[in-house]
């Protein structure tokens, strides 16, 4: 059975840390991917929730050294609702 790896990101708003587990080889392939199409996360992790895929996408951006801004689902809902 493949090993899972844990990916974590800290929320920029409340400092909570969210994690997601995924197969190690798939995460490595995703983090080393150099394409520009963000839809790729959906094809690599189709069974994951939208929130978990967003965490992976922001982790990818952080890994690549590009702009990343992760908000946990609670903070995202507050901002989206104008709180």
Which pLDDT tens digits describe the chain residue by residue (83 residues)? 468 999 999 999 999 999 999 999 888 888 887 665 555 788 888 899 988 999 998 998 888 888 888 999 999 899 887 76
- C-alpha distances (whole Å) from 78 to each of 14, 15, 81, 82 are 11, 15, 5, 6
Per-residue model confidence (pLDDT) at position 37? 53
Predicted TM-score (pTM) of this structure: 0.78
Q: Structural domain of residue 23, as residue ranges?
A: 4-80
Per-residue model confidence (pLDDT) at position 36? 57
- Which residues are within 8 A (CB) of 70 and not within 5 positions of it... i.e. 6 or more apart? 9, 10, 11, 12, 18, 54, 55, 58, 59
Distance CA(54)–CA(13), nearest Å, equals 16
């Amino acid at each position: 059975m493949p090993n899972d790896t844990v990916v974590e990101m800290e929320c920029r708003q409340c400092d909570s840390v969210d994690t997601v587990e995924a197969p190690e080889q798939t995460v490595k392939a995703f983090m080393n991917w150099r394409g520009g199409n963000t839809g790729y996360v959906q094809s690599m992790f189709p069974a994951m929730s939208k929130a978990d895929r967003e965490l992976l996408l922001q982790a990818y951006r952080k890994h690549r050294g590009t702009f990343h801004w992760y908000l946990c689902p609670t903070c995202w809902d507050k901002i989206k609702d104008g709180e």
